[in-house]
Amino acid sequence: MTFIFGHYGVDKFGCRAEMICFAPLLTAIGHAMMASQRTSLLPPLIMQGLGYSISLSALCPSVPLTVKSSVGTAFGLYTCIQNLGLVFVPLIVASIYNNRGQQYLPAVEILLIGLSVAGVLVGICLVFYDRKSGGRLRTRRLRSIEEEVQDSSVRESEHDNNLRACEL
């Protein structure tokens, strides 16, 4: 699903910041549906899966657009923060579950709704920041591989010419 949203959503339409804002909203709605216990589990799980897929397809390609240098370090920091969430959120969920008499609903869902709403708020801030700073996250597609190869070969030939000029 992430590939589909990435290729047909982010690459075709851009609007990464808006998608980063919309994805946790879907997740929050899915968790609210689960907390209400009035529906089948299938629709909320589908909404949560869609939210996660949209989030990944918009967030990962945004890193090279926002970080000029040290892109590898930025991806490392992104992965570190994500892994911290994957470590601590289940511990918090287990603590709530145990303190509520082995009951999952609605307390854990309220926590997850809160985290999703925090994601929406961060997304809104990102939308405003992106619009203020030139709108790089609104671009449709990263440069193609052919363009990158062509530019790098041009840079290499210019570098070689500069070296030859220095030798003379």
Rounded to 5 degrees, φ, ψ at 134 are: 110, -10
For the stretch 28-64, pLDDT in tens is 999 999 988 777 899 999 999 999 999 999 998 889 8
Entry pTM: 0.79
Q: Which two tokens stand for residue 134?
A: 């030139």
Residue for token pair 């363009």? 147
Query: Which residues are within 8 A (CB) of 21 and not within 5 positions of it... i.e. 6 or more apart?
Result: 120, 123, 124, 126, 127
Which residues, including other chains, have CB under 8 Å from residue 97's CB and lie 6 or more apart?
103, 104, 108
